[in-house]
Structure 1
Amino acid sequence: MNLAQEVPKELKKFAAVMDKLAYRNGSYSDVFSDNLDYMLACFLTTGDKERAEQLQKKYKGEYALFDELLKEYIMCMNDVLGGNKSWYDGLGTIYETISSHWKSSALGQFFTPCALVDAMTFMTLGEDEQGFGKRVLDNCCGSGRMLISAHAHAPGNYQFGSDIDPICTKMTAINMMLHGCVGEVSCMDSLAYTWKFGYRINTHLNRVGVPTIEHIEKFEDSYFYVKDKECKVVEPPKPKERGKYEPAKMEPTILQNGQMSLF
């Protein structure tokens, strides 16, 4: 069994190239993760020379196949979005296929089905949400399906995502970039409030028309950053009667962009 046999028709050429790479270069999960790094480097404004050299050393003569993977994926996106679909998450589909068929894989997540994603989008965003520069936030973004669906339904808004999984963060960055979303995604634990890395997506798209990805160098530059001293938890008053408690209250803080936060 190989990957090309398990994926939908539109992804078979892409998967066939992954089969070649995985045959002699480790697991599908390793190849998939390395491919995400390669795709990111191709669109990073700074490139990623160090990662490119690591991949060249690892894959040797087959390193050129990553360029073929990128070409096949863009052609797949072009064909699918040229049909009757307004968004497409091929990376998420590949990710799920690998995790469900190869037990040795390091992957292990399954994402919200596309039809349900669109249903949730329609329930959340009304017809008047288009083009008003509002902010769409998904704190457990997975491969970014909710964000690209929201963009397809109501373009002109800003998309922001975060996920604790580095692979999910990278998939979301690529998906947002290819779909023309403007915003950012961070790899972080939103509950523990620990940040690892992040990307700013298509910052210059409206001005120059070129899709780009930029590194967010430090947490303070991220949309998700809130100073600890601005976040206060108000302790609940002592119960007047035994067994009766009032819930704790969170004092909201206002970010620089005007969004209310309860971090």
Structure 2
Amino acid sequence: MASPHVDVDDLIATLEQIRQRGHSAHTVFRDWVELMLFALQRRDEPYLEILEGYRERADMDQPDGQRSADLFANAFGQLQERMAETDADVLGAVYEEYGMSSDAFGQHFTPHPVCEMMAEISGIVDDSETDGRQTVLDPACGSGRMLLVGARHQPTSLFVGQDKDPLCAKMAALNCCFFNIDAYIVQGDSLTVKYQRAWQTSHSPMGGSVRELDEDETEDLRDSLTAAFENMAKEQSKDDASQASEAQNVNVSTLSGREQASLLAFDSDH
């Protein structure tokens, strides 16, 4: 269920007015997400193409402010207001709550308090001790909730989220834009390192922006991230080997009698 401190009833009521005109809940939510994403990228053609599906006579006969296009826009405004009030993943909460009555949704995201705890355990809340900019990765990001929590603690980091579900990836891209985060959001399988699409969101004093990468940029992103993670794994392997070597070179004479006996017993077993 949605996080208890995020009330999305009014938002769902607005989307429900559209659904009752002959659309499925999943279609309405998906189109709402894509309309917001296209609007923020100023992509008029696909935006208008979606709205063509909501121009039935019963809809066009509605008074001003009650047509589906107006209701989608109203829901966008309600979303922004609720995010400002809660500083939370309201979009993901709407997805969870609205999807309860639909088999087409079928995903539930990590609750906000658990995200806070996971960020603390993983060290995201600590000041970075690394040189240069820190990168925070969530390989199954859902709506990007973990990235939002991490960005509150380390706003200057670069965040990378990936999810194989197209709708989740789009929600994560929107959230990173809404919360003014420098991030890359990838639609693709983290295990097979396959990227279908990718979006870049950028921080600025005027607010976040979002753009979809083209095929070449997406491939370059995949190559650069793969190389970075491979290098990180190699460095970690070197550190582990160094620590193991140091452990083997412990001066036995500095150990207590019981510690020396335990070490000798261990060596005799090997």
Provide closer, same or farther for how the CA distance between residues 223 and 181 of structure 1 changes in structure 2, counting only shifts above 3 A: farther
Q: How far 1:258 sits from its partner (Å)?
A: 9.8
- Structure 2 gaps, min length 5: 61-67, 235-270
Q: Is 1:128 matched up with 2:127?
A: yes
Partner of 2:214: 217
Give 3-state SS (helix, strand or coil) of 1:140's partner.
coil
Residue of structure 1 equivalent to 2:232 = 260
Asked whether the equivalents of residues 254 and 261 of structure 1 are also in contact (C-alpha less than 8 Å), the reply is: no
Matched with 1:226 is 223
Instruction: Return the alpha-carbon distance in structure 2 between the equivalents of residues 119 and 215 of structure 1.
Output: 31
* Equivalent position to 1:28, from 19, 25, 33: 25
Q: Which residue of 1 aligns with 2:77?
A: 71
SS in 1 for 2:8: helix
Give how far 1:56 is off.
Answer: 2.0
How do 1:70-149 residues align onto structure 2 when only pairs under 5 Å count?
Answer: 70-81=76-87, 88-100=88-100, 102-103=101-102, 105-124=103-122, 125-129=124-128, 133-149=133-149
Offset, 1:92: 1.1
Q: Which has the larger radius of gyration?
A: 2
Structure 1 residues 126 and 23: alpha-carbon distance in aligned structure 2, compared to 1, 3 A threshold: closer
1:201 partner SS? strand
Cα distance, 1:96–1:194 mapped onto 2, change above 3 Å: same
- Secondary structure at the aligned position of 2:195 is classed as strand
Render the CA deviation track for 1:148-203: whole Å, top value 9, x for unaligned.
1100122110100110000100110011111111011010112223221110001x
Instruction: Name the SS for the 1:160 alignment partner.
Output: strand
Note if contact 1:25-1:59 (Cα within 8 Å) is conserved in structure 2.
no
Cα distance 1:162–1:222, how it changes in 2: closer, same or farther (>3 A)?
farther
Report matched runs for 1:235-246 at 5 Å. Answer: none
Structure 1 distance, partners of 2:28, 2:10, is 16
| CA deviation after TM superposition for structure 1 residue 225, in Å | 1.3
Deviations, residues 83-121 of structure 1 (Å, cap 9, x unaligned)? xxxxx1111111112332x14x31111111211111010
- Length-normalised TM-score, structure 2: 0.73
Please give the secondary structure, in 1, of the residue aligned with 2:39.
helix
1:141–1:161 contact (8 Å) kept in structure 2: yes
The one-letter code sitting in structure 1 at the alignment partner of 2:126 is: E
Return closer, same or farther for 1:128/1:122 CA change in 2, 3 Å cut-off.
same
- Structure 1, unaligned stretches of length 5 or more? 1-6, 82-87, 228-251
**Cross-structure match for 2:50:** 55
Alignment length (residue pairs): 219
- Name 1:40's counterpart in structure 2: 37
Asked whether the 8 Å contact 1:10–1:80 carries over to 2, the reply is: no
In structure 2, do the counterparts of structure 1 residues 121 and 253 end up closer, same or farther at CA, with 3 Å as the change threshold? closer
Q: Which structure has more helix as a fraction of its residues?
A: 2
Give the Cα–Cα distance (whole angstroms) in 2 for the partners of residues 57 and 67 of structure 1: 15
Instruction: Kindly provide the amino acid, as one letter, of the partner of residue 79 in structure 2.
Output: Y
SS at match of 1:195: strand
